[in-house]
Structure 1
Amino acid sequence: MIEAKNLKKIYRSRRGDRVAVDGISFTVGEGEFFSFLGPNGAGKTTTIQMMVALLAPTSGEIIIDGLNVVTSPHEVRQRIGIIFQDPSLDDRLTAWENLEFHGRLYGIDSRTRNKRSNFLLDVMGISERRNDLVRTFSGGMKRRLEIARGLLHSPRLLILDEPTLGLDPHSRRSVWEYIHRVRREVGMTVFLTTHYLEEADSSDRVAIMSSGKIVAQGTPDRLKKDLSSEMLSVETENPDSLNAYLISHYSSLEGQIRREGDGTLLFPLPPGLDLSPWDLLRSIPLPIREASVRRPNLDDVFIYHTGSGLKSENADKRGGR
């Protein structure tokens, strides 16, 4: 469905060139749920803008559903539904009027428009609010309406750019329940960017960007297993001394230890050693207040590959998104 080959975007200015996307390549299969992750400034939004023909690549190419995005932008857009992170509904119109307007822009005939609008409003759980002004909707309902609108022209690819940004946990969960329902009932490829790593955990594959490059790709389970079998959390009165001890005895932990709170260190079990987590903990010659062991999660994988967590919920800034 998607094939990006050596994709590069350079922003040029009098102050010098800035490489936003640096020769990345990836593929997304038909019907796949693919998550595209990275900190702000990594190049995610710039990549999406090239995918939907809003930006031209400096070099490389993107093929979507067999079509070159640069040479066939109109045909590609007909195959894509996109939900941007910034709201784009007209809140002076009703839910139905928003869908009607969108359908007419895509040249969908009246009978098909009505059929699809009814179906999507029902699937997204907002059919009873079809005649209400959008300004009266909650944030979660607006997001569901935007998703319904993005699916109205029956796209083969749905691009979700931070679809739950700014929503409370209940609304986020509700939106994802409806997205998964649509995937089951309609069937499509989903390309997701998100700051909430638990949303990416159910995807088929994940790619992680950092500084314009893809630094890791694979299934969520594979990426976690490649990081470590276990993660150790150790609370001590002397975290700096513990950090120095761990690095001096296990050189592979260099750059992989992170501090959580005043006295707690989190790190993966060093690979290649015939050593259990409890053996390692018993070998530490420092007082330990508390210790625990757990399996790695996507947040651990993300921090390992990028050096930082997904802390900001702000939109990416132009020139390095």
Structure 2
Amino acid sequence: MSHIVCFDIGGTFIKYGVFDPKGHLLYKSKMATPTSHEIPDVLNNKVKSLQHDIHLSAIGISSCGLVDREKGMILFSNNIQGYSGMKLGEILFSLTKLPVSVENDVKSGCLGEMWKGAVKGMRNAIFLTLGTGIGSSIVMEGRIVNGSSGFAGELGHTVVVAGGKPCSCGRKGCLERYASTSAFVQDYKEEALRKGVAVENVSGEMIMELVKQGDPVALLVYERFIHYISMGLTNVIHLLNPEKIIIGGGITEGEGPFIQDINRQLRNEVMEVYGNEDTVIASSLGNDAGLYGACYLALNRMNMKESV
């Protein structure tokens, strides 16, 4: 039986997994992300290692950065230095002689959720990831919206605070400066410092635990966090009227009121004509969504899977 190996390339880790032709994830692991020029060789070495035990027929790649899917090229990445401009698909094909599919990680995650996860069967939905920034993908009439240059769906760079905090994109007041997990962490550090407490090593998950414990600083910051997320999502709902908004990222995993609190705030913000059902749900594939999407694209490339 032929298998597909998929890689999800991030700034810190490369996750990888082996799938069968029906899209069942058989094995997964991860490794540290090397320097940009080492990435093709590291992927090739992993492929060669796997080929000792299984037959591989294709490679699927989900990658951070702006991606030209047709060319398999990384157009721009601020997560991995020197990664911009890499013709990853072409290089990896020359090394492995296997067909290679390359797509942006958020769009891959959305495809994975459409194929095997929370977006399955939906015609109109938004897929959102909260992390260092905000990644997003729009599904309209059953298809991902790419726009004229393939860059559609950058909800994280819509402005929610005029003249607000500087963003990495060069503008000020972008949604991801207020509603990403990294913004949540930074806001907590600044608020704690104002209270006379110096905080260094903290994560979004750790702050969420403090919220559960009733920590006053964490609760204050959390309330602002929910406010800004809901502000951005209210704009999206009024603009696109999705069936659901699916949110992924480490902060959404595990038990807690996060998703419920967003929905509660949205009921106060969204016009009544849009209904009062909960619009936001958590990703069902979690951190594996990008791998599933990469597998879907690899299978599609080999004409082994119908379009979602």
TM superposition score category, shorter chain reference:
under 0.3
The alignment's TM-score, normalised by the length of structure 2, stands at: 0.27
Instruction: Compare CA radii of gyration and give the structure with the larger one.
Output: 1
Higher RCO by CA contacts (8 Å cutoff, separation 6 or greater): 1
Calculate the TM-score normalised by the size of structure 1: 0.26
